[in-house]
Structure 1
Amino acid sequence: MPHNAFYAQSGGVTAVINASAAGVIAEAKAHPDTIGTLYAGRDGIIGALTEELIDITAESESDLAALLHTPSGAFGSCRYKLKSIEEHRTQYERLIEVFRAHDIRYFFYNGGGDSQDTAHKVSQLSEKMGFPITCIGVPKTMDNDLPITDCCPGFGSVAKYTAVSILEASFDVASMQRTSTKVFVMEVMGRHAGWVAASAGLARDERGMGPDIILFPEVPLDESRFLEQVDRVVAERGFCMIVVSEGAKDAAGEFLSSSGSTDAFGHAQLGGVAPVIVNKIKQHAGYKCHWAVCDYLQRAARHIASKTDVDQAYELGRAAVRYAVNGDNAVMPVVVRESDLPYRWHIDKAPLSEVANVEKCLPTDFISDDGFHITDKARRYLSPLIEGEAYPPYQNGLPAYRTLKKSVIPKKCAEFYDL
């Protein structure tokens, strides 16, 4: 007898998280004897707590097909971490209550480390509460910091955007450096892991364009040595291109841009590191500087997505459903790299217990000895992940992105206010 399933998107969205949703939906439809109706949470896990379950069958086939090329979270996402089971069982009990009311026995949670932790805990508690739920994590994070998997859906497209952006900015600054900007600083995401910053290094080639200096979270800033490097580059070529991760730290290990507050997941809220770096340079040498923050632009840029990234996101969504119907529980599909050139990969699985709340930082041997660039090993790893173009369809000069109806089914449980 088939049982229903629930899918939710979590945390910061990416250019390809909807491709994973498309994979989950397509594969769920292929198993009607096992999976009945697939619902989606309105605004992520909050949709389960408030019993706002989106009826995916109410969406048109063309709109669902368009998920493959539409950025952000089509069903809504959220930064919301459930409290620990030990301290607060109510939220987990509420999830089980809603799932039981709608005969939901399959839970697909599309997110990063915190989300995989939630899926793992639900799988454990549901068993104890007498309503076992098969919980499968679907990897997603543009930060590329989930363990075990070769890479994370969302990262390849951000890496491509980052490398292209610093390359194009280099041409801009080079053409004006004699009478205008001498130093350009581009800030990218990455609180503790410098994967996105490292990807900018792919733009550096024999032409001398791309970043001259990359500041990683993994390498505490030696301010005097950094400023000496800026001076050296400006003296040699007339201008200096810098990429800095938002999580760059000082010699004491403190965030250069910490605002002193935290987000909904308990992570440090950062206030913008690019202007901090620019101020240091101006005070030191008085160069004319310009800075930019990629921020949401880099993770929403579906128009320049990596085909590798899109393909992996979709196939990982499909694999999540296959693992569920085959009897696996508390696992996450992962990408396994077989070779760099040509890039070959396949999908395997990892226990959620080994994925949850584990952060994978940039390996030491991916960072050059001077701490300001990437190594050849990093380039071999990163290069295949930005390969290929997967342009969305265009209409009137703009990408033809779709939005969904997001019709919510009738509720069966009492209102829930403990959020």
Structure 2
Amino acid sequence: MTAYNAFYAQSGGVSAVINASACGVIETCRRHDDRIGRVYAGRNGIIGALTEDLIDTTPESDEAIAALRHTPGGAFGSCRYKLKDIESHRRQYERLIEVFKAHDIRYFFYNGGGDSADTCLKVSQLAEHMNYPIQAIHVAKTVDNDLPVTDNSPGFGSVAKYIATSVRETALDVASMCSTSTKVFILEAMGRHAGWIAAAGALASEDNDGPPHIILLPEVPFDRKRLMARIDETVKRCGYCVIVVSEGTRYEDGTFLSDAGNTDAFGHRQLGGVAPTLAGMVKQDLGLKYHWAVADYLQRAARHIASRVDVEQAYAVGQRAVECALEGQNAVMPAIRRDSESPYRWSLFDAPLSEIANQEKFMPREFIREDGFGINELGRRYLRPLIQGEDFPPFENGLPKMAQLALRPVERRLPEFEL
């Protein structure tokens, strides 16, 4: 049996565990070296395939690949680049086929979110449209937890753990000084359309009485008057108020509080700055002293506090992706099934990309409190298992030790290609 080569790439915003999925893919390919030859990684995602900028992972030691499991960021570079439709942008797809042919690539593993699933689905259609056999398997990743079909998305559990931990620690700081200093603290969390990350802040307290006192979700229309009344009441009752706000919080008409007026390469509105916007309202309406913080990249890069469940799931979907390809599957994504909640047990199943690409999963209304300012016990039961366990990286000289890869380029065989 001929051992064809594989192509792996990372896409979109990275996470604390996306490299654990890379580890799962590469280690599993190495265990099947009788059927899969070299594993090439795309430098900066699918762009690496289009520009023939490939990295040969074969020379990397087993120890270096294993170290990916505890290394955050995107080891091979990621991108926000969405392939257009095949009919009107045929040249892009012809180029992919040329690169795949030139390097004897028959397996395509794309590690990303909903838009990446769309790219993977389109690549899977190349066999039919251009008569070249490619097996395209999507490897789930998104901190936003908004991929449909799968119970949860690798990358989310670690962000949720970071946010809940940060809220618990910061709330103690604010409570210590509230009699003479800060009355309102606002933490901005990621989440464009879905409030999963912000909702995870609720786990900082064991019930709805402790901080965070208020969580603002994209799924609940923003009402300034109601919010200010709740903040005022909370400060008078508790002495301070801790708020977690999703970057995607929006008004009734759908306008984002923090719309920067720009779009990214996927066509999404660029967000950020909802915390200072909200702080300005607090100052104007209530005259209370405040502080705000934006977790931003810190929340998705915090491998030192990653959820063990998240790390294990990230590795498992990478491993299963290779198994799917070896079984002859195409256009699927290994998804997570929740088999039991107490004790928490999970397994994987193979979901068709046609049900995942360009779809979003939002926080269900049954998880949200009646007042709209947080989540209920049902939501807590969903979130709790995902932040369980620790998987600390090795430390050296007091700091986390990360993977060191050679990232050796593959010799180009084709003319240059302009994106």
- Map 1:21-32; keep pairs closer than 5 Å: 21-32=22-33
Please say if 1:210 is aligned against 2:200: no
TM-score by length of 2: 0.98
Question: Percent of pairs identical after alignment?
Answer: 62
**Separation (CA, whole Å) in 2 of partners of 1:277 and 1:88:** 43
Please say if 1:278 is aligned against 2:266: no
Please say if 1:262 is aligned against 2:263: yes
**Separation (CA, whole Å) in 2 of partners of 1:125 and 1:2:** 20
Aligned residue type for 2:302: A
Aligned residue type for 1:394: F
Aligned to 1:6, the other structure's residue is in SS state strand
Displacement, 1:31? 1.3
Q: Which residue of 1 aligns with 2:251?
A: 250
**Separation (CA, whole Å) in 2 of partners of 1:207 and 1:242:** 13
Please say if 1:121 is aligned against 2:113: no
Q: Which residue of 2 aligns with 1:55?
A: 56
Q: Which residue of 2 aligns with 1:389?
A: 390
Q: Which residue of 2 aligns with 1:91?
A: 92
Aligned to 1:105, the other structure's residue is in SS state strand
Gapped runs of 5+ residues in structure 1? none
Q: More deviation in 212-221 or 31-40?
A: 31-40
| Per-residue deviation, residues 207-246 of structure 1 (Å, max 9, x unmatched) | 9543000000011111111100000100001100000000
Q: Which residue of 2 aligns with 1:198?
A: 199
**Separation (CA, whole Å) in 2 of partners of 1:272 and 1:126:** 44
Please say if 1:69 is aligned against 2:70: yes
Aligned to 2:185, the other structure's residue is in SS state strand
Aligned to 1:161, the other structure's residue is in SS state helix
**Separation (CA, whole Å) in 1 of partners of 2:354 and 2:68:** 30
Preserved CA contact (<8 Å) 1:127 1:133: no
TM-score by length of 1: 0.98
Preserved CA contact (<8 Å) 2:80 2:266: yes
Q: More deviation in 76-85 or 344-353?
A: 76-85
Aligned residue type for 1:200: G
**Separation (CA, whole Å) in 2 of partners of 1:316 and 1:310:** 10
Aligned to 1:356, the other structure's residue is in SS state coil
**Separation (CA, whole Å) in 2 of partners of 1:196 and 1:60:** 35
Q: More deviation in 392-401 or 78-87?
A: 78-87
Q: Which residue of 2 aligns with 1:106?
A: 107
**Separation (CA, whole Å) in 1 of partners of 2:354 and 2:396:** 45
Displacement, 1:88? 1.1
Gapped runs of 5+ residues in structure 2? none
Aligned to 2:260, the other structure's residue is in SS state strand
Aligned to 1:46, the other structure's residue is in SS state helix
Q: Over the residues paired in the alignment, what is the CA RMSD in angstroms?
A: 1.0
Q: How many residues align?
A: 418
Aligned to 1:24, the other structure's residue is in SS state helix
**Separation (CA, whole Å) in 2 of partners of 1:242 and 1:162:** 12
Aligned to 2:228, the other structure's residue is in SS state helix
**Separation (CA, whole Å) in 2 of partners of 1:346 and 1:299:** 24
Aligned residue type for 2:312: D
**Separation (CA, whole Å) in 2 of partners of 1:222 and 1:196:** 20
Q: Which residue of 1 aligns with 2:136?
A: 135
Preserved CA contact (<8 Å) 2:6 2:37: yes
Preserved CA contact (<8 Å) 2:3 2:36: yes
**Separation (CA, whole Å) in 2 of partners of 1:48 and 1:60:** 23
Preserved CA contact (<8 Å) 1:51 1:411: yes
**Separation (CA, whole Å) in 2 of partners of 1:64 and 1:28:** 12
